[in-house]
Amino acid sequence: MCGIVGYAGNKNIESVLIVGLVCLEYRGYDSAGIAAFENGEIEIRKEKGKIKALEAILKEKPVFGNVGIGHTRWATHGEPSTINAHPHTNAKSSIAVVHNGIIENYQKLKNQLLEKGHVFHSDTDTEIIPHLLEEELKSGKSIQDAFLNLFKTIEGKWAIAAIFEKDPDKVYFAQDGAPLLLGKGDNEFFLASDVSALIRNSVYVHFLNKKEWGFFSKDKLSLFDFQGNEIQPNFQKQEIKWEEIDKGGYPHFMLKEIYEQPAVFRKIIEKRLNGGEGLHFPELKISNELLSKVSRFVIQAAGTSLHSGMIGKHYLEHNTRIQTDSEMSSEFVYRNPVVEGDTMVIAISQSGETADTLAGIHEAKSKFVKVISFVNNSNSTIARESDAFIDILAGPEIGVASTKAFTAQVIHFFLFSLYVSHIKWMTNDGERKALLEEIRLLPSKMETILSHAPIIEKWAEDFVNTKDFVFLGRTYNYPVALEGALKLKEISYIHASGHAGGELKHGPIALITGDVPVVCIAIQSEIYPKMLSNIQEIKARSGKVISIVTEGDVEARKLSDYTFEIPSCSEILSPLLTVIPLQLLSYYVAIKRGCTPDQPRNLAKAVTVE
């Protein structure tokens, strides 16, 4: 969840670390801090709040130097505060550490250190690390040996960076399950939790594998495994451009990413359809023979990715006639799921680092089941630990509330289902061709929806003081109702719940009053009359109805207080269009309420702890 940066070179340490932390702020913004060498001593600056608060401290008390580490925090152990902010040090401030992840046995280790006379000031698990290292160094061990012993002592999934007063030219680092990357420049090395923090300075990056550690000065890098064996880094050229992680004139990343969806889909269509009627997944290193033998898919994911997986279940069952289940990763892991050799698990994660989803992969592999992952980062831990992966091609997504990654996941589920159905001879050529032609029209239909965004922006003014929302959808659009509710509560802090339309009478209808807006996804389809019945039931109880309808709709419009039209499309592809007005609604309501959509409270982009 947290963000780590490190640097050794000739540049001013303060500016390098701050630029890196700003790029990682989506990973956590409860507090931030840096540790750097100045005249041979470690200087610490840290502050509660966002990175702007740290920058204010640095204006008053700047740090001058060329080697250091930094951190932006999402709180796990201990409340957001300056004391709990990283970096943490030992008593003499001769060791400074930043950390991402959780030390699961920290309380036991802390008690042992307390018995030895160590004094702690924070409530974090991180603070034990510099004290453990201090104990190792006091016994006469080298820094390298102290690090190796540390790995044997602490338990959990984590990444750390550290600097030592006795070795002021170097940054030390290690990872055991949490992401960490190295960047190489001209007589300089960089460290970061995500490639976005390296783009400005490093063309070549090395993604640390699990149980790798090392250290670097400005002109030398040494890399090892946890047994102490030296290994060679695999630096590769990173292709992300700075413009992709810049707001590009938009007020917020979330709005930019909503508007990027047509371009993302054009890229997906170009790469996957490749101008013809075939489907292309060149990165999917799994045989057609194996796919043809799958008798059951289990999709496991969390949050927005779970909602895309629920739609994926519909697609796989409709197009391949293969039984498919969708499950929360956090529940899948701990219920001893029944999966057999001809079952295939599909893991979904935008970041490729989601801890619950990664644990689900390990659970599946422990039962000798093959895993395909849908990820937005082909170098992520989940991609590397799966048997195969599909890159959803959404491009960097910085806003904490996922938008373009959701629709990219959904379209890839649809294309993958067609791919498997072709292998199993389940879809005739005419039907397949018609569906692919309709997919080619989606970008322009998305642009039509976005051109009417001012309608929703105006609506948002009516919901500034609303306390509750209800979202309803059926079949393919039930998961969209869940996603719409999630988006609204994530960034506007309005309580919202999503339900299947058929379940309205089984409890949720008790929530309906004149103060509770109900968003109804009522597009033209087989279940359109059923959604009209839902709207009638809501109006009979004085509820406010916001309808998402097909252009030209008459009946739902008559019954609704607010109506937004989307271009006509088949029901099976409709989630790719119906979700966009819900994304816009959540964004504009958040703005009108004075909320910050890119950095909603208590949330972080990558959930790397269970």
Residue 91: how many other CB atoms lie within 10 Å = 14
Q: How far is CA 474 from the centre of its chain?
A: 27
Query: What values do phi and psi take at 424, rounded to 5?
Result: -95, 5
Over its C-alpha atoms, the chain yields an Rg (Å, rounded) of 25
Nearest partner of 538 among 581, 582, 504, judged by Cα: 504
Spatial neighbors of 193 by CB under 8 A, at least 6 apart, are 2, 3, 4, 5, 24, 27, 100, 159, 178, 179, 180, 181
Between CA 540 and CA 536 the distance in angstroms is 6
Specify whether the CB–CB gap between 305 and 352 falls below 8 A.
Answer: no
Between CA 291 and CA 289 the distance in angstroms is 5
Q: How many residues does the chain have?
A: 610
CA atoms within 13 A on the CB side of 528: 15
Between CA 291 and CA 264 the distance in angstroms is 27
Between CA 584 and CA 590 the distance in angstroms is 10
Between CA 13 and CA 64 the distance in angstroms is 7
Query: What values do phi and psi take at 504, rounded to 5?
Result: -55, -45
Q: What is the DSSP string of 36-76?
A: EEETTEEEEEEEESSHHHHHHHHHHS----SEEEEEEE--S
Decide the pairing of beta strands 212-216 and 221-225.
antiparallel
Specify whether the CB–CB gap between 137 and 143 falls below 8 A.
Answer: yes
b/e string for 430-464 if b means 16 or more Cβ within 10 A?
eebeebbeebeebbebbebbeeebeebbebbeebe
Rounded to the nearest 5 percent, the helix, strand and coil shares of the chain are: 40, 25, 35
CA atoms within 13 A on the CB side of 198: 31
Coil vs helix vs strand at 347: strand
Nearest partner of 491 among 602, 380, 358, judged by Cα: 602
Instruction: Please give the positions annotated as active site.
Output: 2, 605
Tokens, residue 445: 């239909």
Strand blocks (E) in 121-235: 156-164, 171-176, 181-184, 189-192, 204-207, 212-216, 221-225
Nearest partner of 8 among 91, 92, 69, judged by Cα: 69
Token match 């959904």: residue?
410
Spatial neighbors of 113 by CB under 8 A, at least 6 apart, are 120, 128, 131, 132, 135
